[in-house]
Structure 1
Amino acid sequence: MQRTISILPALIFLLLGLFSTAQESPEVDLGGALRFNYNLSSWKPEQKNRGGDFGYDMFRINAVAAYKGVYVNAEFRHYSESFGGGMLKQGWFGYKFNEQDELQLGLTQVPFGIQQYNSHNWFFNLGYYMGLEDDHDMGLKLIHLGENIEYHLAYFKNAEELNFGNTSAVSPSRYSYDVAGNNKEVHQGNIKFVYKVGDSLQSRFGISAQYGGLYNINTKETGDHYALALHYEAFYKSWNLKSEAMLVAHNPQNEFGNSEKIITMAAYGAPYEVAADFKLYTLAVSRDVPVDWGPISNLQFYNDFGWMQKKEAAFEDSFMNVTGVLVTAGNLYTYIDYAAGYNHSWLGGNFVDDFAAGNPNAKWEARFNINFGYYF
């Protein structure tokens, strides 16, 4: 079985070679971004005494190259060491059979829910923190983008693997959230279907599903996890609406004494606990306002809301709401956000278990944030 799996990529690219079209010379396109961040948080008294903090956020390099019909798309990011340091956000080999059908192999975006993002703000929406928005895993994906019908089929061997040890835990130095701790995501299948209709009011009705294993490195047993989502996105003149309803469950095979009502997830250099079973509802709306203020050409106002309803009765639900504006000035994009959270690991409270048990005595906390990003 291992020999069959090992030769699968070779067979795929042999087939791609048979279908590839002529291309005279290699094509390479390089880009990137530099971002700085200012934030002022309600739960940090010393930071408030300083008037907030302003510093380095991220530097990234993007590369797209193609030759004889086969291409590569990669993005490498470098954050501060406390946020995970250097990491590959995405990177895949691709082939386009025609204008509608494409195959991708590597660290590619998981086809689930509204994409590329289910949000408008710099913080994303609540699902990002549970690996349900802009997630990337290691696998193979087929995409069909028809005029009215769009579908995605994918198989992911695992999340991005950095250690390659026999019983190595998942490294937290990653961009998107994955199950971590003593469990590892394995053999995940995804299917996503979207129906597109409308002219002045453009609508995208979608359904997504994923199912995979959770291999426990201590018990050597494999549990499972799944997620289902209904999603709708609308475009009308300068307005955009994004809405999703998700059902999520994890069934790990943990060691005796370890709760199966909680899983560990990790990204940006640190793990935290998340309720194993929950429903998630998100609603996001934005409006573009063109302006002519020197280099400033557009203002996008938005409000993005998320509610995590946990199945376990003793757990406290989590909420998130971000109100803000994106200012476009040439290649400089500035997000000005007021992000509020209740039992939210990144917005006050207890980082470790806000998305799991939470705190019944928690209060809403907020962070005023300005992110400056120049994209080239």
Structure 2
Amino acid sequence: MQKKALNYCVSLLLLGCAATPAMAADLSIGDPKTDLGELKLSGFLRAKYQDKSWTGNDHKLTFDAARINLDYTSPKIFGHLEYRCYQYNKLCDFSTLVDAYVGYNINDSHLLQAGLQPVPFGPGRFWESNYYGGVITQIGLEDVHNVGLKYQGKFDTGTQVELAYFTGDGGSYSGPYSEDASRYTTNFVKPEDSSLTHLDEQNMFIGRVKQEIRSLPEPMKGNIGASYWQSDIENKTNGQTGDRQAWAVFGDVSYNNLGFGLTLGKNEVDNKDPLTPKASLMGSFDDNFMVANEGMFYTADVSYKFKNVGKLDAVMPYAMYSSYVKSEDGYDDSSRHLVGVATYYKNMSFVAEYIMGKNDFLIGGPSSSYAQGGDDETHELLNLQFYYKF
């Protein structure tokens, strides 16, 4: 009942923002430089049109998603809340909390942050320039948001250090299809099939180090870094405890408006499950799927931003390569590759992306895509999106 009421309130707020576009850009109170601080509301409304090679059911323009951000900023205390809703069959029938954290600025270089927040693994929250994301988001290592405490420190050497402890995931919310996979982040979830094992990830210790490369000639800029993830995997079916260990190394370089990034690493899960020791049940966005417990992952991204193109503020073409190469013999690798372009005009943007997926559940693959695979075909998706930001 509480989730339904929250969905209803979010829907009303979104409709109010859409109906008052002139006022939406000024939804802030206070001054971030004062002790009282500033409270600011922002977000977006998004529509989409998709053409899928594996089905002909989506050839129509529809409302897709909305995001609401509420930010509090002051010299010492800050906070952030992000809530999203999506339309599957009706407005906001799937909705989920993404972030809800507060922080304290110890000084200009060091801070503490507590609550539901992005996990500091890989190069950042997003590993690429596109809007759809790479296949590693479905493996549960990219754009992950869990509940915990994080320390961040920046040093004069150009080094940034983040150390975090997460007690568990952010929980499930409201969706029309799944009991426990109604969530933004791909986590281990409770199975709807009683024959599958219920896993829960806890006690996550995660660290990330980034180093600015200062020896590059102007106007080049670059960073390199590494991150490590260690956690307990509680097998709620048999009472045993396994673990996850993952690492990633990454780097990026830019030259004026040209940017290139590369991330590679390994994921290894011991689920203490005698029935399916090689794969584990995970879920997000109201879907469940099995994921191979061990594999190498790769993401490469390139983009170029053309500024002030005619009446447009910017035009940015980009391309991405991402893959999950499974260690188990007989398991087919999963991949998602993408080329696209985004155009920006004031508070509006338009995105066109052509996506190719193989053994990718979101791009036409079977439910076993991220585990043993078994699909020899490459499926294509044309993804068109229109954003109104407030």
Q: TM-score category by the smaller chain?
A: 0.7 to 0.9
Task: Give unmatched runs, 5+ long, in structure 2.
Answer: 1-32, 191-197
Q: 1:197 to 1:68 in 2, by over 3 A?
A: closer
1:40 lines up with 2:51 in the alignment: yes
Q: Aligned to 1:365, which of 355, 379, 385?
A: 379
Structure 2 match to 1:166? none
Structure 2 match to 1:4? none
1:272 lines up with 2:270 in the alignment: no
State the TM-score, normalizing by the size of structure 2. 0.83
Structure 2 match to 1:301? 317
Cα distance between partner residues in 1 of 2:52 and 2:88? 21
How far apart are 1:68 and its partner, in Å?
7.5
Query: What pairs up with 1:135-150 in 2 under 5 angstroms?
Result: 135-147=144-156, 148-150=158-160
Structure 2 match to 1:57? 64
Q: Aligned to 2:77, which of 63, 70, 79?
A: 70
Q: 1:84 to 1:253 in 2, by over 3 A?
A: farther
Task: Give unmatched runs, 5+ long, in structure 1.
Answer: 1-21, 164-168
Structure 1 match to 2:98? 89
Structure 2 match to 1:190? 206
Q: Aligned to 2:342, which of 313, 318, 326?
A: 326
How far apart are 1:171 and its partner, in Å?
1.9
Q: What amino acid is aligned across from residue 262 of structure 1 in structure 2?
A: A
Determine if contact 2:102/2:113 at 8 Å carries over to the other structure: yes
Query: What pairs up with 1:1-376 in 2 under 5 angstroms?
Result: 23-47=34-58, 52-66=59-73, 69-80=76-87, 85-147=94-156, 148-162=158-172, 171-181=180-190, 182-198=198-214, 199-254=218-273, 256=274, 258-294=275-311, 296-350=312-366, 352-359=367-374, 361-376=375-390
Q: Give deviations 1:74-118, integer Å, cap 9, x for gaps.
A: 111111256971111111011111121111100111001111311
Determine if contact 2:171/2:183 at 8 Å carries over to the other structure: no
Cα distance between partner residues in 2 of 1:152 and 1:333? 33
**What secondary structure, in the 3-state scheme, does the structure 2 residue paired with 1:53 have?**
coil
State the TM-score, normalizing by the size of structure 1. 0.86
**What secondary structure, in the 3-state scheme, does the structure 2 residue paired with 1:356 have?**
coil
Cα distance between partner residues in 2 of 1:146 and 1:28? 29
Alpha carbon RMSD of aligned pairs, Å?
2.0
How far apart are 1:146 and its partner, in Å?
3.0
Cα distance between partner residues in 2 of 1:341 and 1:298? 28
Structure 2 match to 1:7? none
Q: What amino acid is aligned across from residue 373 of structure 2 in structure 1?
A: G
